Amino acid sequence: MARKSPQPKATSAEVLECVQQNCPSCGKPMWNEYNNLRRVRTIKGVVQLLLKIHRCQNITGERYRIKYRPEQEGSWALPQQEFGLNVIALVGALRYQEQRSIAQIHQQLRNRGVEVSERSVTHLLERYDELVALWLSDHSRLKAIAKKQGRLILAIDGMQPDVGHEVLWVIRDCLSGEILLAKTLLVIRGTVQLASAIATALHSFTAQDLSQVCVQTWQQLRSDLCQHQLNRIEQLRFRRNPEAYLATLEQLLL
Ligand SMILES: [Zn+2]
């Protein structure tokens, strides 16, 4: 979005560090080579972000000198966007849950102290529409990202603009910064379903995959799992009533 007014003054600052300190490809420590500054306009004010950018120094690795940005950055704002995701989520909620017009949304944002033009509200609503239009049926896009990088680092963020508004859940890949999926759901259980859906969408099983099972390995695995479950039951019995558990053991053994 082209900005006509000067960048607004920041009202708070945050330092974002990478959670993952080792290279996702070769596992060696990455260096914090430089920092980026980014200003994001959110519902709660203008935040100055200081982003610690890391890079792998392993010259033989696949990700040699490729930027690794703090995972949290994507929960603040979409790439190249000046307005935060929580503003986009609020615009979407006001439009579709409260059926407000662009002019009304504009007024509400201004009442909350978000300096925004009416044209920008239209633009933000377009971003919201694009976001929720992304869906897993676009497997080719998802597979292309995973294939290019060899891996995905998934993050889930939930944005609830206000009490009563539905939560906008966003699932994104931290390596590419791409949003994989965004959906409004009232229940948190949905996010688990979405994450599983992404994981399974990345790998579709064929009949051949499923037939290549070694019966002996499968039986061993099943027996191990049964044993594991029995151990857990015993542990639980002991924890519930240690004295009674030990008394029963004594009776059996003595
Ligand atoms: Zn590396």
Expressed in angstroms and rounded, the spacing between residue 146 Cα and the centre of ligand 1 is 17
Quote the distance between the C-alpha of residue 232 and its chain's center. Answer: 32
pLDDT for res 162: 79
Expressed in angstroms and rounded, the spacing between residue 145 Cα and the centre of ligand 1 is 18
Expressed in angstroms and rounded, the spacing between residue 25 Cα and the centre of ligand 1 is 5
Residues 6+ apart with CB under 8 A from 202: 142, 143, 146, 152
Determine the residue type at 197. Answer: A
- Specify the 3-state DSSP secondary structure of 228: helix
Q: Give this prediction's pTM.
A: 0.70
Expressed in angstroms and rounded, the spacing between residue 21 Cα and the centre of ligand 1 is 11
Expressed in angstroms and rounded, the spacing between residue 31 Cα and the centre of ligand 1 is 10
Residue-wise pLDDT tens digits, 81-95: 999 999 999 999 999
Residue 100 confidence (pLDDT) above 90: yes
Expressed in angstroms and rounded, the spacing between residue 36 Cα and the centre of ligand 1 is 21
pLDDT for res 3: 53
Residue 206 confidence (pLDDT) above 70: no
pLDDT for res 83: 95
pLDDT for res 196: 63
Expressed in angstroms and rounded, the spacing between residue 201 Cα and the centre of ligand 1 is 27
- Which residue has better confidence, 188 or 37? 37
- Which residue has better confidence, 140 or 71? 71
Expressed in angstroms and rounded, the spacing between residue 62 Cα and the centre of ligand 1 is 6
pLDDT for res 84: 94
Task: Please report which confidence band the pLDDT of residue 198 belongs to, taking 50, 70 and 90 as the band edges.
Answer: low
Residue 189 confidence (pLDDT) above 60: no
Dihedral pair phi/psi, residue 46, rounded to 5° = -95, 120
Expressed in angstroms and rounded, the spacing between residue 242 Cα and the centre of ligand 1 is 50
Expressed in angstroms and rounded, the spacing between residue 60 Cα and the centre of ligand 1 is 8
pLDDT for res 146: 76
Expressed in angstroms and rounded, the spacing between residue 59 Cα and the centre of ligand 1 is 8
- Cα atoms in the 13 Å half-sphere on the side-chain side of 29: 3
Tokens standing for residue 186: 């009232």
pLDDT for res 120: 95
pLDDT for res 166: 81
Determine the residue type at 154. Answer: L
Expressed in angstroms and rounded, the spacing between residue 177 Cα and the centre of ligand 1 is 18
Dihedral pair phi/psi, residue 67, rounded to 5° = -65, 140
The domains of the chain are located at 12-204, 213-253
Expressed in angstroms and rounded, the spacing between residue 90 Cα and the centre of ligand 1 is 39
Expressed in angstroms and rounded, the spacing between residue 18 Cα and the centre of ligand 1 is 15
Expressed in angstroms and rounded, the spacing between residue 29 Cα and the centre of ligand 1 is 8
Nearest in space to 49 (alpha carbons), one of 15, 19, 80, 8: 15
